[in-house]
Amino acid sequence: MSEQKISEAIHTLKHAGVRITPQRHAILEHLIQSMSHPTADEIYKALEGKFPNMSVATVYNNLRMFKEVGLVKELTYGDASSRFDCVTTEHYHVICDLCGKIVDFHYPGLDEVESLAESVTGFKIARHRMEIYGVCPDCQTKH
Amino acid sequence: MSEQKISEAIHTLKHAGVRITPQRHAILEHLIQSMSHPTADEIYKALEGKFPNMSVATVYNNLRMFKEVGLVKELTYGDASSRFDCVTTEHYHVICDLCGKIVDFHYPGLDEVESLAESVTGFKIARHRMEIYGVCPDCQTKH
DNA sequence: TATTACTTTATAATCGTTACAATTAGTTTA
DNA sequence: TAAACTAATTGTAACGATTATAAAGTAATA
Ligand SMILES: [Mn+2]
Ligand SMILES: [Mn+2]
Ligand SMILES: [Zn+2]
Ligand SMILES: [Zn+2]
């Protein structure tokens, strides 16, 4: 289960010459075990019981670090906070307009879109992002 | 040309019971004639010669208004400012990773992605967003 | 142990955006 | 037309997420 993933991640960090501090370990563990897409502040609040003195800057610092070594991806949205995803394999997200729930959505990739964009615009395309919006099953039943 | 579009937009506004103030007209005109995707601040700066006393709040207020009546769409990005697009027909954007240039990209729409997402997740899908990232022709030649 | 580099912490600063209250301008009513 | 009402603009304060900075703590190394 997630034990496996945590120790892999720690190995990656050690290999990158990064110290495994208690705070760092806890942030990583929370990210992996939560199975969700938490914001920096959600992580901060989730850990304040265990680390009453941890600074919110520590959460941000470490999330940036994790991004740099490829352990997490940042999902950015307009006004709201960024969310962080430790599933770094290619996938999309379906987001509920009402409650904000984010669900992973695996899809074959849109290579043809990229190659068409490349030929039409002359850009050298590197990647794309896509999110799909709607109303989740829970919110549908709640009227 | 854009004259046509401006008068159509003004008609829409009047129909919505909105006064056409000089500031409002200028913001609208700039949006339509610029043929680009300006930020609120870019609009503000572009008009400060003509309206030295205009408040930045006026730009934001009117952009929100335009959005509400469907004249413009807001493109939101992570950290950076929102950009505003007065082409409200369905299209995508190709964005340069180096200079930030935004180019329209028309593509048949991804209805199959939406319907697959709907069946897989149980969401009632309403829409999606997609952006494609790469390096623009200009930035490619500048090495 | 002394030195060094890394990490955390606390807090100030930044930036885009919005809220608010006062003022101005336009519209309707008497 | 004048008064009353409504909409819009302005200037500025506030907000919220994130980053910068400097001081203090901790681990690694010599
Ligand atoms: Mn995900
Ligand atoms: Mn566009
Ligand atoms: Zn929902
Ligand atoms: Zn470019």
Q: What is the pLDDT of residue B77?
A: 87
Question: What tens digit of pLDDT does each residue of B109-119 get?
Answer: 799 999 999 99
Question: Do residues B44 and B27 make contact, with C-beta atoms less than 8 angstroms apart?
Answer: no
Helix (H, G, I), strand (E, B) or coil at A34: helix
Q: CB B79 to CB A78 under 8 A?
A: no
CA distance B128 to B122: 15
Question: Do residues A18 and A66 make contact, with C-beta atoms less than 8 angstroms apart?
Answer: no
Q: Which residue of A has its CA nearest to B127?
A: A133
The B residues from 101 to 140 touching A (CB cutoff 8 Å) are: 103, 105, 107, 110, 113-114, 116-118, 120-137, 140
**What contacts B64, CB < 8 A, 6 or more positions away?**
none
Question: What tens digit of pLDDT does each residue of B4-30 get?
Answer: 999 999 999 999 999 999 999 999 999
pTM to 2 decimals?
A: 0.91
Q: CB B74 to CB A77 under 8 A?
A: no
Q: What is the pLDDT of residue A109?
A: 77
Q: What is the pLDDT of residue B142?
A: 85
- For residues A10-16, average pLDDT: 93
Residue B1 has pLDDT above 80, yes or no: no
Question: What tens digit of pLDDT does each residue of A44-99 get?
Answer: 999 999 999 999 999 999 999 999 999 999 999 887 899 999 998 999 999 999 99
- One DSSP character per residue, B22-82 reads HHHHHHHHHHHHH-S--BHHHHHHHTTTT-TT--HHHHHHHHHHHHHTTS-EEE--SSS--
Place A141 in a pLDDT band, splitting at 50, 70 and 90. very high
CA–C1' span, A61 to D21, in Å?
Answer: 14
CA–C1' span, A138 to D28, in Å?
Answer: 52
User: A50 vs chain B: nearest CA distance in angstroms?
Assistant: 30
Q: Please name which of B27, B82, B88, B36 lies closest in space to residue B58, comparing C-alpha atoms.
A: B27
Q: What is the mean pLDDT of chain B?
A: 94
Q: What is the pLDDT of residue A78?
A: 81
CA distance A94 to A116: 24
| In chain A, % of residues over pLDDT 90 | 88
Q: What is the pLDDT of residue A2?
A: 83
Q: CB B131 to CB A136 under 8 A?
A: no
Q: A2-86: what fold?
A: Arc Repressor Mutant, subunit A (1.10.10)
Q: What is the pLDDT of residue A80?
A: 86
Question: What tens digit of pLDDT does each residue of B46-78 get?
Answer: 999 999 999 999 999 999 999 999 999 999 988
Question: Do residues B67 and A68 make contact, with C-beta atoms less than 8 angstroms apart?
Answer: no
Say which CATH superfamily domain A92-142 falls into: Ferric-uptake regulator, C-terminal dimerisarion domain (3.30.1490.190)
Question: Do residues A44 and A106 make contact, with C-beta atoms less than 8 angstroms apart?
Answer: no
Paired residues of A39 in beta bridges: A83
Domain ranges of chain B: 2-86, 92-142
A17: nt with nearest C1' to CA: C6
